[in-house]
A and B are shown apart, each in its own frame.
Chain A
Amino acid sequence: MHRFANPTRFLKIASAVQPWIAGITVLLFGVGLYMAFFTAPPDYQQGESVRIMYVHVPAAWMGMFCYAAMAVASAVALIWKHPLADVAAKATAPVGAAFTFLSLVTGALWGKPMWGTWWVWDARLTSMLILLFLYIGYMALQGAFDDRARGAKASAILALVGAVNLPIIKFSVDWWNTLHQPASVIKMGGPSIHPDMLWPLLIMAVAFKTYYVWVLLVRIRQELTANKVRILRLKQVHGG
C-alpha cells in the first residue's frame, strides 16, 4: 500500500485508472437503475414508493462510509503525517456531505407518504442530521485558518471526534424507539429482504461507491496539482 502513497506515482496511477472507474460507474448505474425500476417488484405494503429505497439506502450507507474513510485518513495524517492522507480526507468531505444530504432529503420524500410526515426528531434521523453538520463543520474549519497546515490539523481532530456518531447512527434503530425501520440488509443472520429487491439495492450501492472513487480520484488529482501550483507561485515570488 505504501507504494501508492507517493503523490507523483499516485497522480500517474490515478489518471490511468480514472477512465475505467468512470466506465464501471456508468455501467453499474445503468444496470442498477434498470433493475430498480423494471425488475424489482413493488412492496406489498409500500407499493411503488419502495423504489426510493434504491437511492435512499446507498446514499445513507455512503454518507457513513465516507465519514469513516475521512476519519481513518485523518488519523493517518495526524499520526504518520502522510502527505496523501490529508488530501484524501479533504477530498472526501464534500462527497460524503452530498450523500448525507441526499439520504436526508430522499428519506423525507419517502417518509411523507409512508409515515405521514417529512421529518421526526428521532434517533436515526437526528444522528444523520448531525453527520451532515459534522461534514459542514469539517469543511468550514479547514478554510478557517490562514495557515493551511493548522486548518488541516484542526479539521482532522474534528473528523476523529465526530466518528463517535457512526455507531450511534448504525445502532440508533435498536437502542431507541424510532419510526425508522430496523436494519434489513447488514444484520445478524443475513438479509431479510427478498433477492429481487436485494440485488438492485446492492448494485446501486456499488454504483454509489465507484462514483465516490471516481470523484475522489478527480478531487485528489486537483488538490495535488493545486499544491504544485502553490509551490511554483512561491518560486516566482522568491526566485523570480
Chain B
Amino acid sequence: MADFFSMGGYGAYVWPSYGLCAVIMLALLIFSLRSLKTTEHTFERLKSETAPKINSKNKETPDGDEA
C-alpha cells in the first residue's frame, strides 16, 4: 500500500497531478451545475411573476421589486 502511494519515489509529482485535475474539473462541473440551477429558478420565478401582469393590465400590484 505504501509502495503504491510512493509511486516509485515520484509520488510527490504523480499525486498532485491527479489531485489538481480532480479538484479543477469537479469545481468547474459543480459551478456550472449550480449556475444552471440558479438561473432556472430565476426563470421560473420571473415567469410566474410576469405572466399574470401581462394578461391583466389593470390589476397593478404595487410591489416594489428592486431586485
B 37-56 to A, binary, CB cutoff 8 A, 1 in contact else 0: 00110110011011001100
Does the CB pair A215–B32 fall under 8 Å?
Answer: yes
Contacts A225-B40, A226-B39, A236-B46 given; does A112 touch B13 at CB 8 Å: yes
B 8-34 to A, binary, CB cutoff 8 A, 1 in contact else 0: 111001101110110011001100110
A211 at interface, CB cutoff 8 A = yes
Does the CB pair A219–B32 fall under 8 Å?
Answer: yes
Contacts A49-B7, A218-B33, A239-B54 given; does A228 touch B43 at CB 8 Å: yes
A68 at interface, CB cutoff 8 A = no
Contacts of A42 in B (CB 8 A): 8
Contacts of A219 in B (CB 8 A): 32, 35-36
CB proximity to B under 8 Å, residues A98-114: 98, 101-102, 105-106, 109-110, 112-113
Instruction: Give the number of residue pairs across the A-B interface with Cβ within 8 Å.
Output: 94
Does the CB pair B54–A48 fall under 8 Å?
Answer: no
CB proximity to B under 8 Å, residues A226-240: 226, 228-229, 232-233, 235-236, 239-240
B57: nearest chain-A partner, CB-CB: A239
A31 at interface, CB cutoff 8 A = no
A64 at interface, CB cutoff 8 A = no
Contacts A222-B35, A222-B36, A229-B42 given; does A47 touch B53 at CB 8 Å: no
Other A-B pairs beyond A222-B35, A232-B47, A235-B54, 10, CB < 8 Å: A42-B8, A47-B10, A52-B14, A105-B17, A215-B32, A219-B35, A222-B39, A225-B43, A233-B46, A240-B50
- A-B contact list, 21 entries, CB within 8 Å: A47-B10, A49-B8, A49-B13, A49-B14, A52-B14, A56-B17, A59-B21, A98-B25, A102-B21, A106-B20, A109-B17, A113-B10, A215-B28, A218-B29, A218-B33, A218-B36, A219-B36, A229-B42, A232-B50, A235-B54, A236-B50
